[in-house]
Structure 1
Amino acid sequence: MRIDLNGTPIETGAATLADLITEQNFEAASVATALDGTFIPRDARNRPLHPGARVEVLSPMQGG
């Protein structure tokens, strides 16, 4: 299915947000996630994706 990941259209076979994080090689414990503009806590990442979903995955940055 086609979704937007961090503003970039991609094709994914992931069924859930958790699957997408694994598929895209994000460090699950170190990222914050949002689905269609709504923050999704780590323990709720089993939420299903849908075609056209807007997903944001944010990693903390150091420096400053």
Structure 2
Amino acid sequence: MNKKTLIADTHDIFEAFIINGLHHNYCIYCQFPFNDHLVNQHNYGEHFDIEFNDGYRYHQ
């Protein structure tokens, strides 16, 4: 995984990162709290690291 971190400041940008597969190569930091509904909308596969501004970290 690349050492650079992508910053998602909106749900739309977060979804664009996931749809384009960027979560496989970069860590993603979300500038909003963890949202169970948003996270469960996608299939992430393996090797991803997503952190939310409330400290919740979703990774594999």
With the shorter chain as reference, the TM-score category is under 0.3
**Alignment TM-score, normalising by the size of structure 2:** 0.28
Q: Which has the larger radius of gyration?
A: 1
Instruction: Flag the structure with higher helix content.
Output: 2
**Alignment TM-score, normalising by the size of structure 1:** 0.27
Instruction: Flag the structure with higher strand content.
Output: 1
